[in-house]
Structures are given as C-alpha cells and as structure tokens.
Amino acid sequence: MYDVAILWDWIAFAVRWLHVITAIAWIGSSFYFIALDLGLNRDIKGPADGEEWQVHGGGFYHIQKYLVAPEEMPAHLTWFKWESYATWLSGFAMLAVVYWVGAELYLIDPAKADLAIWQGIAISAASLAVGWVIYDALCKSPLGETPTTLMVLLFVVLVVMSWGYNQIFTGRAALLHLGAFTATIMTANVFLIIMPNQRVVVADLQAGRTPDPKYGKIAKLRSTHNNYLTLPVIFLMLSNHYPLAFGTQYAWIIAALVFLMGVTIRHYFNSMHARQGQPHWTWALTVLLFISIAWLSTYPGHESYEASEARALTAYEERFAQAEGFEQAHDIVRGRCSMCHARAPVWGNMQWAPKGVFLETRADVAGRAREIYLHAAVSHAMPPANITNLPAEDRRVLAAWYQSGTE
C-alpha cells in the first residue's frame, strides 16, 4: 500500500511538469501576439491593418495583420489553440491529483467548513464552471461595449470568489482554486469564443462571403482579458509553495491585490509595445501593492497550538494517530523537526515554519503522515542536509508507522 504514495507523488510531479511546459507555450504565444498587435506599424499604406519587420535567430520576419482577412485565403493557416487546452487539462489533472485525492489534507479545513470529502470536491468542480457562466454573461451584456467597466466588474467577481474560497477551503487551496477559476475563464475564452469566431471568419472567406468584423472585435476583447489575467494566475499557481501568501486570514485580500498588480505590470508593457510611452508610475504602484501584500502576510491565519491540541482529530489524523508506532514517530518528529516546523520556530533566525507545515501536536504529526513518510523516510530530503542528525533507524520507524496506517 505504501508504494502507492510514492507512485502518486511521481504522478503529481509529472502532471505539474506537463502543466508548466504547456503554460509556458500558451503564455509565450499570448504575450507575443499582444505585443505584436500593439506594435504594428499602421502608417504603411496597403490592404493590411498593419505590419512589422522583426529579426530573430539570424533571420528576418515580415509580418502583416489583416483586420478581417486577406482577399485570398492562404493554403496553410496555423491555429493557436492547443497550448491553451493542454494547459487547462493538465492543470485540472493536477487539481484532481493533489487537492481531490488529498482532500483531507490539502482541500478541506474543518475549522472553516466541516465538509465531507465529496462535498468539498463538488464545490471545487462546480465553482470553476460558475465563474465562466458569470463572466460570459457580463461580456455578452451591454457592458461588453464598455471594456473598462467590464474589467472593474470582473475584478469584483474575482474578489468575491477569493473571499468565498477562503471561507471554505484551506488557505493553500483557496488561492489555488482562485487561479483555476481564472484560468478556466481564460481557456473557455479560447475554446468557446475566440476559436469559434475565427472559424466563422474562415468559413465565410472560403464560401466567398465578406466576414463580419464583429467576430474579430469580440475575439480581441476576450484575448485582451486573458492578457491581463495571466500574471495573477501565475502568482496564484505558485502561491502554494509560499505560506506567507496563503497562511494568513487576509489571503483573500492578498489575492485581490495580486490582480491589481497584474493590471499595472501589463499596462506598462502594453503601453510600451504600443509606442505610447513608458508609464513608470505603474512600477511605483506595483511596489506599493507588493509592500501591502507583504504587510498583510504577517497576520496569522493558522491554527494555534492550543486549538490544535484541544480539537477532535479528523478521520485522516485519527487513522495515523491510532496506527502502530505513532507515539514513537511523534517523539522522533518533535525532537528532530519541530524546532523549525513550529508556530514559533527556534532554529536560527527562522521566523516562519517552512511551507507553513507545523509538526508539534499530535494532530500536526498525524495529519502530515504522508509527507513525513515521503520526505523523511523514503527520501532524505528532510531534515535538510540531515542537519538534526536524524538516524537511519528513526527513518525506518517513521516508514513503518506510515505503512501501518495504510494497511
């Protein structure tokens, strides 16, 4: 049974690797085309809406953009879609592998909402779809003609979702889900709006009809939204590695401010690419937002030592607390790991427990059984460089305890 934990961890690693690779491809092409569109020279007379010469990799590229399409449909047309689809699919797989399969540990926080595992998973999945329905309705309303107002309302929706997720899930899961919520909107934009609109234009051209420019206008609006949402999504996807981002009661406000930072950063680069100057004030505002985030991160949001000691154990914690060898394992972890993994670390100048992981109380240790097994028994990743001299015999005790709890 214990081999399943090792295999599952490698599956999670592989899916995460795939997700990063596909995200690089999608974000790279998205940023490139936004910069290309903004930087086109539109003073050159001709049938094209704009053109640009570029040099890269020892070659020269002559690029022309047609607002609708050229008079004659090209024989070879490259569609940019699979990068987006593969990013979302791999991200959804990672959500399922880490947060659904590991719901007891990573998704559900009984102190916030005492949910059954299936309830937590159902809320997780349904919330992603709800986001798209709300966003798409706003875009198709008269507000679609006022992009700035639309973006403000989208920001309000994201803030509400950030707060809502934080009332139900663990801080780590709340920020990750907000990123998945936003990424779902972005991919749905490509799959349900941008690509279908482009197909309509191509079909009209092939049939000898004059395409309606509205389809290109709608697709461009959604593409612009994706451009401004990209950087916050990256932050939220990385946040699970940094407890200062998610381990505070104000994590939902931090997430909201991150979306504002995404706007200020993209506004600078978009203005620069459009040859409209370099609004340096955006960097000053970005720094102020980042300082605010750092300040908010100092407010605790974790369970206190006393609360952890007093509360009833969850089913997962109870299973490993009752497993053979737990008392010995608990003593080993307290003696070799808790000087760093404490609510008030005493190792060196450390101010916060690494990754926000506490290993002090019975609930702490039992709840982290799988991680202790993988990081301190199967591998020697913990303690780092074996700085607390955890002996091989103690590692075997930890392994035996975990295996006992999985039988």
pTM: 0.80
Strand partners, 64: 51
Q: Which residue has the tokens 């999608």?
A: 26
Q: Specify whether the CB–CB gap between 185 and 127 falls below 8 A.
A: no
Record the tokens describing residue 192, joined without a space: 């349900």
- For residue 136, the model assigns a pLDDT of 93
Of the candidates 214, 296, 314, 301, the residue with the CA atom closest to the CA atom of residue 255: 296
Integer Cα distance of 407 and 361 in angstroms: 24
Record the tokens describing residue 270, joined without a space: 């978009």
Return per-residue pLDDT of the chain as tens, 407 residues: 457 878 888 998 999 999 999 999 988 888 888 888 888 887 777 667 788 888 888 889 888 887 766 677 777 777 888 899 999 999 999 999 999 998 888 898 887 888 899 999 999 999 999 999 999 999 999 888 888 889 899 999 999 999 999 999 988 899 999 999 999 999 999 999 999 988 888 888 777 787 788 888 888 888 888 889 999 999 999 998 888 888 888 999 999 999 999 999 988 988 888 888 899 999 999 999 999 999 988 776 677 888 888 888 888 889 999 999 999 999 999 999 989 998 888 887 787 788 788 999 999 999 899 999 999 999 998 988 889 999 999 999 999 999 998 88
Q: Specify whether the CB–CB gap between 201 and 215 falls below 8 A.
A: yes
Whether omega for the bond prior to residue 345 falls within 30 degrees of 0, making it cis, is no
| Burial category of 153 from C-beta neighbours within 10 Å (exposed 0-12, middle 13-18, buried 19 and up) | middle
